[in-house]
Amino acid sequence: MKALLRWLALLAMALVALQLFFVARIAMMAVVAPQSTSFQRSEAWRIANEKGNLRWRQQWVPYSQISDHLKRAVIASEDDGFTNHEGVDWDALEKAWEKNAKAEQKAAAQKLPVKPGKPAPKPPKIVGGSTITQQLAKNLFLSGERTLVRKGQEFVLTLMLEHLLTKQRILEIYLNSVEWGEGVFGAEAAAQHYFHKPASQLGSFEAARLAVMLPRPRYYEKLPNSGYLASRADVIVGRMGSAQLP
């Protein structure tokens, strides 16, 4: 019993030490831009192994040098309550869970034996309810696996980000580190890659197209003339006027 208690105490100390490490890292981000994220490092490893060379585009630019159109487009598309919530949008999360549950139930009800030579049916589409802060927490520190432990740590990191950084700084880090294509990270690299101009000069429709790409950037990078991309961008342009900037 003493040995078990000793191991539990060591585990608790390790968890506390890990959280203190995260606090220190996030507090430093208030004044120092992160050089890379956990997601970027995993992508660099994948690209280097698959392609044999590392194609990488990223250039940090300050908040003031990112077009307000892009800030509004990303908020309108990804997290329209960004300036008001405290890191987690519980209403959006509940709606996502309900939509995913209905999709899984529908897929189960329609499940039929697959005939030889025919492709298997596609799995139900999973809808996310994560805020910009949650996405940043995951990208900065965590892996992409879907486990309760990982999700729990994401919530803790989200609260740390919200309490230690301003909303403007959170959005600045997010826009400079989020993926916009294979090896394309951040607003400046995306603006140069797709429109051959700096992020400060992006127009409203260009910004909306980039915002729509965020859930599946590598997919849309290969389909620049996608009808869905254009129609969804039109919708986002219409919503950008009501998006509040931090």
Quote the pLDDT of residue 196: 96
Residue 40 near residue 177 (C-beta atoms within 8 A) = yes
Chain mean position to CA 46: 18
Return the structure tokens found at 151.
């999700």
**Average model confidence (pLDDT) for the chain?**
87
Q: How confident is the model at residue 160 (pLDDT cuts 50, 70, 90)?
A: very high
Dmax (CA) for the chain in angstroms is 65
What letters, b where the CB count within 10 A reaches 16 and e where it falls short, cover 204-235? bbbbbbbbbbbeebeebbeeeebeebeebbee
* CA 203 to each of CA 106, 154, 221: distance values in angstroms, whole numbers, following the listed order: 40, 33, 19
Mean pLDDT check: name the lowest of 11-25, 118-132, 143-157, 215-229. Answer: 118-132
Q: Which domains does the chain have, with CATH numbers?
A: 48-108+124-242 (1.10.3810.10)
- pLDDT score of 188 more than 60: yes
Q: How confident is the model at residue 110 (pLDDT cuts 50, 70, 90)?
A: low
Distance CA 130, CA 59 (A): 25
Quote the pLDDT of residue 105: 56
Q: How confident is the model at residue 26 (pLDDT cuts 50, 70, 90)?
A: very high
Q: How confident is the model at residue 75 (pLDDT cuts 50, 70, 90)?
A: very high
Q: 160 or 111: which carries more pLDDT confidence?
A: 160
Distance CA 151, CA 111 (A): 29
- pLDDT score of 162 more than 90: yes
Distance CA 46, CA 137 (A): 21
Q: How confident is the model at residue 232 (pLDDT cuts 50, 70, 90)?
A: very high
Quote the pLDDT of residue 127: 45
Return the structure tokens found at 37.
């994220």
Taking the model in full, what pTM does it have? 0.85
Q: How confident is the model at residue 2 (pLDDT cuts 50, 70, 90)?
A: confident
Quote the pLDDT of residue 193: 96
Q: How confident is the model at residue 123 (pLDDT cuts 50, 70, 90)?
A: very low
Q: How confident is the model at residue 102 (pLDDT cuts 50, 70, 90)?
A: low
Q: 237 or 47: which carries more pLDDT confidence?
A: 237
Q: How confident is the model at residue 161 (pLDDT cuts 50, 70, 90)?
A: very high
